[in-house]
Amino acid sequence: MLTDAHSHRVNTGEVNTVYNVRINDDPMSLPHGPRLYFSVGIHPWDAGRFQPSWLDKLNLLLNYRQVVAIGECGLDKNTEIPMNVQLEVFERQIILSEIALKPLLIHCVGCHNELMELHRKHSPVQAWIVHGFRGKPGLAQQLLKAGFYLSYGGKHNPESVALTPPDRLLMETDDSGKELEEVAATLMAIGKLAPEELTAAEKIFRIK
């Protein structure tokens, strides 16, 4: 079964969905349904309003079986929030990821060098997934060599998709409005992949 690694809505097809939750969302308002999982994190856009209680809430939510990842979290050069503030909030989630044994779903805009430096610094055991990756093949190769996983959506660089090994490739709908089957068909055609090869997400998120 295909898995949508990052979505802002529940898929209608026969797929697993990892639904994105921001830390200040109301848990009571979240959708319910079969094959529905969650990622929860402190988005870099929210780092300027960071409260220590958010980490307590995140730590609590990570105890639920359906919460399979921390994210979105990461770094964004296009926001006005100072980079040192973003780094502090992101590093706290990196540490929590290793303690809770949950992978990171990473929002990264213009900060890939900083991201790779953090990866070298922390030497994580848990997977680091760059969501919505649209970068050029050179950057994709750097990230893959460093140990990252790449998640592709409707907008992507076909050359980067083609060079990504299936065991490091995830797929997502994000907020595109597309069905995952459509995204998957495009990625499989580019990478000459069969559906049974696209199991990285299930393994990383421990979805059975």
Q: What are the residue ranges spanned by the domains of the chain?
A: 3-205
Please identify every stretch of the chain with a pLDDT value under 70, giving residue numbers as ranges.
Answer: 27-28
Strand residues in the chain grouped as ranges (E)? 3-7, 16-22, 36-41, 67-76, 104-109, 128-130, 149-152, 169-171
How far is it, in rounded angstroms, from Cα 189 to Cα 71? Answer: 28
How far is it, in rounded angstroms, from Cα 19 to Cα 61? Answer: 14
Hey, is 42 helix, strand or coil? coil
How far is it, in rounded angstroms, from Cα 58 to Cα 121? Answer: 23
How far is it, in rounded angstroms, from Cα 131 to Cα 54? Answer: 22
Q: In this predicted structure, what is the pLDDT of residue 73?
A: 98
pLDDT tens digits along 142-193: 999 999 999 999 899 999 999 999 999 999 999 888 889 999 999 999 999 9
Q: In this predicted structure, what is the pLDDT of residue 30?
A: 79
How far is it, in rounded angstroms, from Cα 58 to Cα 23? Answer: 7
Its pTM stands at 0.95
- Asked if residue 205 lies in contact with residue 18, where contact means CB atoms within 8 angstroms, the answer is yes
Hey, is 160 helix, strand or coil? helix
How far is it, in rounded angstroms, from Cα 147 to Cα 143? Answer: 6
- Asked if residue 114 lies in contact with residue 75, where contact means CB atoms within 8 angstroms, the answer is yes
- Superfamily in which the 3-205 domain is placed by CATH: Metal-dependent hydrolases (3.20.20.140)
